[in-house]
Chains A and B, each alone.
Chain A
């Protein structure tokens, strides 16, 4: 094997190693980091960079190795790029909501990480739920 096929193999191998390494480091972060807001960081980077690299490896391999263009990978990669921030945002909203309700009822919460506690919303408002706007929050038109 020589020429383009060898280069394609090397490139695909490098991208696979890079992607799998990112996935491994992201999951290691999920295990090691102290609070949920920090644990959110690891897997979101792994899903965009790690999966992106592996999917590009697959495109490169099938194009230069076998001469076929496959676009499914790009579709998966686009879908992951769009959905990863949304699901991370939803998880963060659930976390803030549960933290807030636990503080209001005086229950125990998880220890704060190096970033400290999230600042409380003004007044009696709750983060992240879709209730009617509370006084002093951005959705409260009457208070302006």
Chain B
């Protein structure tokens, strides 16, 4: 079985992003502070966006990019809401 260059690169990309997600999960569980957990969640969202983009290239359809864009927006709003809550004790004042 021969693999094209792009298939090899995609396999490497999926593996690397999976490993990255596992490391983020470790940081999310270990902490030690709540700030580390927010940072780990933010990084997980970024890596999942990367996975969706790779899946879009691999599947050959352009429809998965709406999902990636939505995830980017929701992830940003979530991070800012966590940070705002810890800074002010309230999200919308």
Contact = CB atoms under 8 A, between A and B. Distances in A.
Contacts, number: 168
B39 A14 contact: no
A84 B42 CA distance: 9
Interface stretch (A69-77, A114-122, A135-143): A69-77
B42 A36 contact: no
- Interface size class of chain B, counting residues whose CB lies under 8 Å from the partner chain: 35 or more
Interface string B1-25: 0001110111011111101110110
Interface string A28-43: 1011000010011001
B24 A27 contact: yes
B35 A20 contact: no
Contact of A58 (B5, B12, B36, B57): B57
Contact of B87 (A31, A55, A80, A128): A128
Interface in A1-59: 9-10, 12-14, 16-17, 19-21, 23-24, 26-28, 30-31, 36, 39-40, 43, 46-47, 50-51, 54-55, 57-58
Contacts of B84: 90
B46 A47 contact: yes
Contact of B57 (A16, A27, A87, A97): A16
A60 B49 CA distance: 18
Contacts of B88: 129-130
A57 B57 contact: yes
Given A36-B39, A87-B42, A93 B72 contact: no
A86 interface: yes
Contacts of A94: 35, 38, 83, 86-87
A16 B13 CA distance: 6
Given A43-B46, A79-B73, A90 B83 contact: yes
Given A50-B50, A91-B35, 12 more contacts: A16-B57, A20-B14, A30-B27, A55-B53, A57-B57, A76-B72, A80-B46, A87-B83, A93-B87, A95-B33, A98-B86, A128-B87
15 contacts: A9-B4, A9-B6, A13-B5, A20-B12, A27-B47, A30-B40, A36-B36, A46-B46, A46-B47, A47-B43, A51-B50, A55-B53, A79-B76, A80-B49, A98-B86
